[in-house]
Protein backbone atom coordinates (compact mmCIF):
# COMPACT_ATOMS: atom_id res chain seq x y z
CA UNK A 1 0.00 0.00 0.00
CA UNK A 2 2.99 2.30 0.16
CA UNK A 3 3.71 1.90 -3.51
CA UNK A 4 2.17 5.25 -4.40
CA UNK A 5 3.36 8.64 -3.22
CA UNK A 6 2.36 9.11 0.38
CA UNK A 7 -0.74 11.20 -0.26
CA UNK A 8 -3.56 9.04 1.08
CA UNK A 9 -6.46 11.46 0.53
CA UNK A 10 -8.64 11.30 -2.56
CA UNK A 11 -11.48 13.63 -3.55
CA UNK A 12 -14.00 12.15 -5.97
CA UNK A 13 -15.62 14.68 -8.29
CA UNK A 14 -18.26 13.45 -10.74
CA UNK A 15 -19.34 15.36 -13.83
CA UNK A 16 -22.71 14.49 -15.32
CA UNK A 17 -22.09 15.80 -18.79
CA UNK A 18 -22.61 14.34 -22.23
CA UNK A 19 -22.97 17.60 -24.16
CA UNK A 20 -19.44 17.21 -25.49
CA UNK A 21 -20.34 13.98 -27.28
CA UNK A 22 -22.73 13.03 -30.07
CA UNK A 23 -24.17 9.98 -28.35
CA UNK A 24 -25.87 10.58 -25.01
CA UNK A 25 -25.64 8.54 -21.81
CA UNK A 26 -22.15 9.11 -20.41
CA UNK A 27 -23.68 11.71 -18.09
CA UNK A 28 -24.70 8.69 -15.98
CA UNK A 29 -21.12 7.41 -15.84
CA UNK A 30 -20.26 8.74 -12.36
CA UNK A 31 -23.27 6.94 -10.88
CA UNK A 32 -22.33 3.62 -12.51
CA UNK A 33 -18.73 3.81 -11.28
CA UNK A 34 -19.83 4.72 -7.75
CA UNK A 35 -22.40 1.92 -7.85
CA UNK A 36 -19.59 -0.57 -8.47
CA UNK A 37 -18.36 0.20 -4.93
CA UNK A 38 -15.46 2.53 -5.69
CA UNK A 39 -15.57 4.55 -2.46
CA UNK A 40 -15.76 1.56 -0.17
CA UNK A 41 -12.94 -0.18 -2.03
CA UNK A 42 -10.63 2.85 -1.97
CA UNK A 43 -11.25 3.19 1.76
CA UNK A 44 -10.38 -0.48 2.20
CA UNK A 45 -7.04 0.35 0.60
CA UNK A 46 -6.45 2.88 3.38
CA UNK A 47 -7.44 6.05 1.57
CA UNK A 48 -9.40 8.87 3.12
CA UNK A 49 -12.07 9.47 0.48
CA UNK A 50 -14.17 12.59 0.23
CA UNK A 51 -17.01 12.50 -2.24
CA UNK A 52 -17.61 16.00 -3.53
CA UNK A 53 -20.67 14.86 -5.47
CA UNK A 54 -21.46 15.57 -9.09
CA UNK A 55 -21.30 18.72 -11.14
CA UNK A 56 -24.50 19.12 -13.18
CA UNK A 57 -24.23 21.11 -16.40
CA UNK A 58 -26.70 23.89 -17.22
CA UNK A 59 -29.64 22.68 -19.30
CA UNK A 60 -29.32 25.30 -21.98
CA UNK A 61 -26.60 27.22 -23.72
CA UNK A 62 -25.32 28.30 -27.08
CA UNK A 63 -23.22 26.42 -29.53
CA UNK A 64 -20.40 28.19 -31.32
CA UNK A 65 -19.25 27.52 -34.84
CA UNK A 66 -17.61 24.05 -34.81
CA UNK A 67 -18.01 23.81 -31.04
CA UNK A 68 -21.34 22.14 -30.25
CA UNK A 69 -22.84 23.10 -26.85
CA UNK A 70 -19.85 25.32 -26.13
CA UNK A 71 -21.58 27.30 -23.37
CA UNK A 72 -22.67 24.23 -21.44
CA UNK A 73 -19.31 22.51 -21.79
CA UNK A 74 -17.48 25.67 -20.74
CA UNK A 75 -19.72 26.48 -17.76
CA UNK A 76 -19.35 22.89 -16.53
CA UNK A 77 -15.59 22.95 -16.96
CA UNK A 78 -15.34 26.21 -15.06
CA UNK A 79 -17.07 24.57 -12.09
CA UNK A 80 -14.82 21.53 -12.42
CA UNK A 81 -11.72 23.70 -12.66
CA UNK A 82 -12.65 25.37 -9.37
CA UNK A 83 -13.47 22.07 -7.65
CA UNK A 84 -10.22 20.39 -8.74
CA UNK A 85 -8.16 23.46 -7.79
CA UNK A 86 -9.75 23.50 -4.32
CA UNK A 87 -9.03 19.80 -3.88
CA UNK A 88 -5.35 20.40 -4.69
CA UNK A 89 -5.23 23.35 -2.27
CA UNK A 90 -6.60 20.99 0.38
CA UNK A 91 -3.72 18.63 -0.33
CA UNK A 92 -5.92 15.88 -1.73
CA UNK A 93 -5.67 13.92 -4.99
CA UNK A 94 -8.42 14.77 -7.52
CA UNK A 95 -10.22 11.80 -9.07
CA UNK A 96 -12.65 13.02 -11.73
CA UNK A 97 -15.39 10.71 -13.02
CA UNK A 98 -16.97 11.52 -16.39
CA UNK A 99 -18.93 12.28 -18.25
CA UNK A 100 -17.59 12.78 -21.72
CA UNK A 101 -13.93 13.60 -22.24
CA UNK A 102 -14.52 17.35 -22.69
CA UNK A 103 -14.19 17.56 -18.89
CA UNK A 104 -10.44 16.99 -19.11
CA UNK A 105 -10.20 20.61 -20.26
CA UNK A 106 -11.34 21.65 -16.79
CA UNK A 107 -9.50 19.06 -14.72
CA UNK A 108 -6.11 19.19 -16.47
CA UNK A 109 -6.17 23.00 -16.60
CA UNK A 110 -6.63 23.13 -12.84
CA UNK A 111 -3.80 20.67 -12.17
CA UNK A 112 -1.43 22.49 -14.55
CA UNK A 113 -2.27 25.87 -13.01
CA UNK A 114 -2.01 24.67 -9.42
CA UNK A 115 1.45 23.19 -9.97
CA UNK A 116 2.65 26.11 -12.13
CA UNK A 117 4.87 27.58 -9.36
CA UNK A 118 6.56 24.18 -8.83
CA UNK A 119 7.02 23.16 -12.46
CA UNK A 120 5.40 21.37 -15.35
CA UNK A 121 3.06 18.39 -15.10
CA UNK A 122 3.14 15.43 -17.48
CA UNK A 123 0.05 13.90 -19.06
CA UNK A 124 -0.63 10.30 -20.06
CA UNK A 125 -3.78 10.08 -22.18
CA UNK A 126 -5.01 6.53 -22.75
CA UNK A 127 -7.68 6.67 -25.45
CA UNK A 128 -8.75 5.15 -28.77
CA UNK A 129 -8.89 8.71 -30.11
CA UNK A 130 -6.40 11.55 -30.22
CA UNK A 131 -8.72 14.17 -28.72
CA UNK A 132 -6.37 16.58 -30.48
CA UNK A 133 -8.77 18.51 -32.71
CA UNK A 134 -9.48 22.18 -32.42
CA UNK A 135 -12.41 24.20 -33.77
CA UNK A 136 -10.69 24.45 -37.17
CA UNK A 137 -9.71 20.82 -37.68
CA UNK A 138 -12.79 19.13 -36.20
CA UNK A 139 -15.04 17.21 -38.57
CA UNK A 140 -17.92 16.87 -36.08
CA UNK A 141 -17.80 19.86 -33.72
CA UNK A 142 -17.99 17.47 -30.76
CA UNK A 143 -15.94 19.00 -27.98
CA UNK A 144 -14.84 15.70 -26.42
CA UNK A 145 -12.50 15.44 -29.40
CA UNK A 146 -10.63 18.61 -28.43
CA UNK A 147 -9.48 18.68 -24.77
CA UNK A 148 -5.95 17.28 -25.17
CA UNK A 149 -5.13 19.87 -27.83
CA UNK A 150 -6.71 22.61 -25.71
CA UNK A 151 -4.70 21.90 -22.54
CA UNK A 152 -1.50 21.91 -24.60
CA UNK A 153 -2.26 25.36 -26.00
CA UNK A 154 -3.08 24.23 -29.53
CA UNK A 155 -6.69 25.33 -29.28
CA UNK A 156 -9.47 25.93 -28.84
CA UNK A 157 -8.09 28.32 -26.22
CA UNK A 158 -11.62 29.34 -25.22
CA UNK A 159 -12.14 25.77 -23.97
CA UNK A 160 -9.57 26.20 -21.20
CA UNK A 161 -10.05 29.88 -20.41
CA UNK A 162 -11.88 30.28 -17.11
CA UNK A 163 -10.35 33.66 -16.35
CA UNK A 164 -7.27 32.05 -14.79
CA UNK A 165 -4.75 32.70 -17.60
CA UNK A 166 -4.28 29.08 -18.61
CA UNK A 167 -0.98 27.32 -18.07
CA UNK A 168 -0.48 25.13 -21.13
CA UNK A 169 1.26 21.78 -20.77
CA UNK A 170 4.30 21.37 -23.07
CA UNK A 171 3.82 18.50 -25.52
CA UNK A 172 7.31 17.27 -24.61
CA UNK A 173 5.73 15.90 -21.39
CA UNK A 174 2.53 14.61 -23.02
CA UNK A 175 1.88 11.08 -24.22
CA UNK A 176 -1.01 9.58 -26.16
CA UNK A 177 -1.30 5.82 -25.63
CA UNK A 178 -3.42 3.25 -27.52
CA UNK A 179 -4.84 5.53 -30.19
CA UNK A 180 -6.21 3.76 -33.25
CA UNK A 181 -8.89 6.08 -34.55
CA UNK A 182 -7.26 9.40 -35.44
CA UNK A 183 -8.70 11.87 -37.89
CA UNK A 184 -6.14 12.67 -40.59
CA UNK A 185 -5.94 16.44 -39.92
CA UNK A 186 -5.79 15.68 -36.19
CA UNK A 187 -2.84 13.31 -36.64
CA UNK A 188 -1.03 15.93 -38.72
CA UNK A 189 -1.57 18.51 -35.98
CA UNK A 190 -0.20 16.12 -33.35
CA UNK A 191 2.92 15.51 -35.42
CA UNK A 192 3.42 19.23 -35.93
CA UNK A 193 3.07 19.84 -32.20
CA UNK A 194 5.69 17.22 -31.35
CA UNK A 195 3.27 15.03 -29.44
CA UNK A 196 4.51 11.69 -28.14
CA UNK A 197 2.15 9.10 -29.62
CA UNK A 198 2.18 5.33 -29.09
CA UNK A 199 -0.66 4.03 -31.25
CA UNK A 200 -2.03 0.48 -31.03
CA UNK A 201 0.48 -0.70 -33.62
CA UNK A 202 3.33 0.21 -31.22
CA UNK A 203 1.63 -1.70 -28.40
CA UNK A 204 1.26 -4.71 -30.72
CA UNK A 205 4.94 -4.65 -31.61
CA UNK A 206 6.57 -3.69 -28.34
CA UNK A 207 4.01 -4.68 -25.72
CA UNK A 208 2.24 -2.50 -23.17
CA UNK A 209 5.02 -2.88 -20.59
CA UNK A 210 7.64 -1.34 -22.86
CA UNK A 211 5.31 1.42 -24.04
CA UNK A 212 4.18 2.42 -20.55
CA UNK A 213 7.75 2.44 -19.23
CA UNK A 214 8.61 4.95 -21.94
CA UNK A 215 5.39 6.92 -21.44
CA UNK A 216 6.08 7.25 -17.70
CA UNK A 217 9.61 8.39 -18.44
CA UNK A 218 8.40 11.05 -20.90
CA UNK A 219 5.63 12.33 -18.62
CA UNK A 220 7.42 11.80 -15.34
CA UNK A 221 11.01 12.94 -15.83
CA UNK A 222 11.54 16.60 -15.02
CA UNK A 223 7.92 17.11 -14.02
CA UNK A 224 6.17 17.43 -10.66
CA UNK A 225 4.03 14.40 -11.48
CA UNK A 226 1.70 12.77 -13.98
CA UNK A 227 -1.97 13.37 -14.72
CA UNK A 228 -3.71 10.29 -16.12
CA UNK A 229 -6.68 10.86 -18.40
CA UNK A 230 -8.21 7.45 -19.06
CA UNK A 231 -10.95 7.07 -21.66
CA UNK A 232 -12.56 3.62 -21.41
CA UNK A 233 -13.01 3.55 -25.18
CA UNK A 234 -9.30 2.66 -25.35
CA UNK A 235 -10.35 -0.79 -24.13
CA UNK A 236 -11.77 -3.10 -26.77
CA UNK A 237 -15.60 -3.35 -26.69
CA UNK A 238 -15.54 -7.05 -25.66
CA UNK A 239 -14.32 -5.87 -22.25
CA UNK A 240 -15.76 -2.36 -22.21
CA UNK A 241 -19.02 -2.29 -24.18
CA UNK A 242 -20.44 0.60 -22.17
CA UNK A 243 -18.85 3.58 -23.84
CA UNK A 244 -20.05 6.36 -26.10
CA UNK A 245 -17.69 5.96 -29.03
CA UNK A 246 -16.65 2.29 -29.15
CA UNK A 247 -13.82 1.34 -31.50
CA UNK A 248 -12.99 -2.27 -32.36
CA UNK A 249 -9.60 -3.85 -31.69
CA UNK A 250 -8.49 -1.75 -28.74
CA UNK A 251 -6.36 -2.78 -25.77
CA UNK A 252 -7.44 -5.69 -23.59
CA UNK A 253 -8.53 -5.30 -19.98
CA UNK A 254 -5.21 -6.90 -18.93
CA UNK A 255 -3.21 -4.37 -20.92
CA UNK A 256 -5.23 -1.60 -19.29
CA UNK A 257 -4.51 -3.02 -15.84
CA UNK A 258 -0.81 -3.31 -16.62
CA UNK A 259 -0.72 0.33 -17.75
CA UNK A 260 -2.28 1.71 -14.58
CA UNK A 261 -0.34 -0.65 -12.29
CA UNK A 262 2.91 0.64 -13.75
CA UNK A 263 1.73 4.18 -13.19
CA UNK A 264 0.94 3.33 -9.57
CA UNK A 265 4.38 1.76 -9.15
CA UNK A 266 6.01 4.92 -10.51
CA UNK A 267 4.65 6.91 -7.55
CA UNK A 268 4.10 9.83 -9.90
CA UNK A 269 0.32 9.90 -10.30
CA UNK A 270 -0.98 13.23 -9.01
CA UNK A 271 -4.48 13.31 -10.51
CA UNK A 272 -6.79 11.23 -12.69
CA UNK A 273 -9.84 11.36 -14.95
CA UNK A 274 -11.85 8.26 -15.81
CA UNK A 275 -14.28 9.13 -18.59
CA UNK A 276 -16.80 7.99 -21.19
CA UNK A 277 -18.53 5.19 -19.27
CA UNK A 278 -22.00 4.90 -20.83
CA UNK A 279 -24.36 2.82 -18.65
CA UNK A 280 -27.08 2.75 -21.35
CA UNK A 281 -24.82 0.81 -23.69
CA UNK A 282 -23.26 -1.29 -20.93
CA UNK A 283 -23.97 -4.92 -20.01
CA UNK A 284 -24.89 -5.27 -16.32
CA UNK A 285 -22.47 -2.47 -15.39
CA UNK A 286 -19.51 -4.45 -16.72
CA UNK A 287 -17.75 -1.28 -17.87
CA UNK A 288 -18.62 0.62 -14.70
CA UNK A 289 -17.09 -2.17 -12.61
CA UNK A 290 -14.02 -2.33 -14.83
CA UNK A 291 -13.60 1.44 -14.45
CA UNK A 292 -13.76 1.12 -10.67
CA UNK A 293 -11.14 -1.67 -10.71
CA UNK A 294 -8.84 0.33 -12.97
CA UNK A 295 -9.02 3.32 -10.65
CA UNK A 296 -8.10 1.15 -7.65
CA UNK A 297 -5.16 -0.30 -9.53
CA UNK A 298 -4.01 3.17 -10.55
CA UNK A 299 -4.01 4.14 -6.88
CA UNK A 300 -1.88 1.17 -5.92
CA UNK A 301 -4.18 -1.69 -5.05
CA UNK A 302 -2.04 -4.65 -4.10
CA UNK A 303 -3.13 -7.94 -5.60
CA UNK A 304 -0.63 -10.17 -3.82
MN1 LIG B 1 -11.29 10.63 -25.26
Domains of the chain: 9-298 (3.40.800.10)
Catalytic residue among 120, 135, 255, 276: 276
Cβ-count burial of 201 within 10 angstroms (0-12 exposed, 13-18 middle, 19+ buried)?
exposed
231 counts as catalytic: yes
**Cα of 131 to ligand 1 centre, how many Å?**
6
Distances, alpha carbon 106 to alpha carbons 117, 162, 275, in Å: 19, 9, 13
| 135 in active site | no
Distance 125 CA to ligand 1 centre (A): 8
Q: Tell me the pTM.
A: 0.97
Q: Classify residue 69 by its DSSP letter.
A: T
Share of the chain residues as helix, strand and coil, in percent rounded to the nearest 5: 40, 15, 40
β-bridge mates for residue 179, sequence order: none
Q: Cα(first)–Cα(last) distance of the chain, in Å? A: 11
**Ligand 1 centroid to 126 CA: how many Å?**
8
Q: Which residues contact 92 (CB under 8 A, 6 or more apart)?
A: 7, 9, 10, 11, 50
- Reference 279, options 271, 290, 268; nearest CA is 290
In order along its 304 residues, the chain shows pLDDT tens digits of 344 568 899 999 999 999 999 999 999 999 999 999 999 999 999 999 999 999 999 999 999 999 999 999 999 999 999 999 999 999 999 999 999 999 999 999 999 999 999 999 999 999 999 999 999 999 999 999 999 999 999 999 999 999 999 999 999 999 999 999 999 999 999 999 999 999 999 999 999 999 999 999 999 999 999 999 999 999 999 999 999 889 999 999 999 999 999 999 999 999 999 999 999 999 999 999 999 999 999 999 988 8
Task: List the one residue out of 230, 285, 222 whose CA is nearest residue 256.
Answer: 230
**Residue from 208, 278, 203, 202 nearest 240 by CA:** 278
101 assigned to active site = yes
Q: Is 127 a catalytic residue?
A: yes
* Cα–Cα distance measured from residue 301 to residue 124, given in angstroms and rounded to the nearest whole number: 20
Measured in Å, residue 137 CA sits from the centre of ligand 1 at 16
**How many angstroms separate the CA atoms of 99 and 76, rounded?**
11
Amino acid sequence: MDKLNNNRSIDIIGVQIDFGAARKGVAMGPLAIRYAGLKKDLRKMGYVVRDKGDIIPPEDGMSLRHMIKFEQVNATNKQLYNAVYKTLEDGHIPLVLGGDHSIAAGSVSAVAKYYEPQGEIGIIWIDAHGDWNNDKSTETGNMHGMPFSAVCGWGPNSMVDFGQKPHFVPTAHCVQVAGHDFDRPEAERMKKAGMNVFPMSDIDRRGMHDIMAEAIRIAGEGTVGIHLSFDVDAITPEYAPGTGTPVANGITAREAFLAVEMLADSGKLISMDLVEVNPILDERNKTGMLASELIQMAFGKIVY
